[in-house]
Structure 1
């Protein structure tokens, strides 16, 4: 069977996702604005602005190369990786928001491409990975400022497909079946290339038509209904 997204409906419950009241429109816009800080602020090392996009306490995020961790720990690991030469950037391809105003909760779905530059064995190449960034957001009161606003509490990615891009249009590395075989379709080349840098890459992140994808949608629904999605997200504090 060809690797692909399932043809079945993935999100049966319809939320406030377009149109609606002015208040709904403004809330969805505010959530969308907050999560755009990931590709913009992180790529530019605007760490203070980046941190401000997330809840002050309890924030937990996942990436292929860092595993799951608290946002402040992730920022420090990101700084160290950048200082060591990791060159990861992001292209946002559009963001939409599902809102449950009665619970002051929202899910932001950001279509993105992760693009990472590598230099290995004298060959310079990129790996592009198409995906969906999923942000679990809530309206909360800031202890620091006393103001209420939208923040992201959890972040996890649905990895869709990846590919190797020769920077010079000709030369690309060869990965063995053993290297790419331990990673699922969706981020196998990204995972293998990151592993060559010494990163311990997660092998069970959500991809198309996987159990992880099903759990992600269940976690989204749980969050919007006011529940705790941590078990479904695989968070182990």
Structure 2
């Protein structure tokens, strides 16, 4: 039996491997971070099983979609073979919007439902929490003109990220968890229920509107 400290180190490594292997396009190893039976990913532009997320991420990577992740502080609540982890992160995407090359940076947290499978921690469900974002032209002298109606379609936590992804052709989900509000409170309740032994890690299909 591992100690709590060993579990915390293993969970931190799991989250770091997710970011490093996905951003590097190391798809075989990226597949190993997920629960093989129930892995589920929610993002602004994708909601579905981990296997499908890997496939669409790989397709985007091959055609030059640039989405990178950086990680910060990390914490884990562990009960037996279950855990809920939270990890500070930024999502960085570069794209061309109406002829202007821009960088959009979104700051938030990865909220992960994890389970020990055959002695190894795996991600059962990943739900990002989007806290704030911003958009900057790569060329400081450029002035992108944003459509205010499209911009206001998305919550403040990922307003510019949603804008850029919509312009890039993605269908972006609205109403995903932010720093405060009913949606993130429901997520926290689902996390508590997961640690208490619920049959499923909440209902990821209900995340957002």
Normalized against structure 1, the TM-score is what? 0.82
Shift of 1:172: 4.1
Unaligned 5+ residue runs, structure 2? none
Instruction: Please list the CA deviations of residues 189-226 of structure 1 after superposition, one character each: whole Å capped at 9, or x if unmatched.
Output: 10011001111000021012121110110011011111
2:72 equivalent in structure 1? 93
1:12 equivalent in structure 2? none
Match of 2:55 among 76, 80, 89: 76
* Paired residues of 2:125 and 2:201 also in contact (CA < 8 A): no
Shift of 1:176: 1.7
Question: Rg bigger for which structure?
Answer: 1
Shift of 1:121: 2.8
Shift of 1:183: 0.6
CA–CA distance in 2 between the matches of 1:213 and 1:83?
Answer: 33
Whether 1:205 and 2:176 are equivalent positions in the alignment is yes
TM-align CA RMSD? 1.5
Normalized against structure 2, the TM-score is what? 0.93
1:175 equivalent in structure 2? 146
Whether 1:220 and 2:202 are equivalent positions in the alignment is no
CA–CA distance in 1 between the matches of 2:83 and 2:13?
Answer: 13
Whether 1:137 and 2:114 are equivalent positions in the alignment is yes
CA–CA distance in 1 between the matches of 2:77 and 2:53?
Answer: 26
* Paired residues of 1:216 and 1:232 also in contact (CA < 8 A): no
* Paired residues of 1:99 and 1:106 also in contact (CA < 8 A): yes
Unaligned 5+ residue runs, structure 1? 1-21, 142-147
CA–CA distance in 2 between the matches of 1:208 and 1:174?
Answer: 27
CA–CA distance in 1 between the matches of 2:188 and 2:141?
Answer: 40
Match of 1:56 among 15, 18, 36: 36
In structure 2, the residue corresponding to 1:186 is in which secondary structure? Answer: helix
1:229 equivalent in structure 2? 201
Shift of 1:232: 6.5
Greater helix share, structure number:
2
In structure 2, the residue corresponding to 1:165 is in which secondary structure? Answer: strand
Shift of 1:233: 6.0
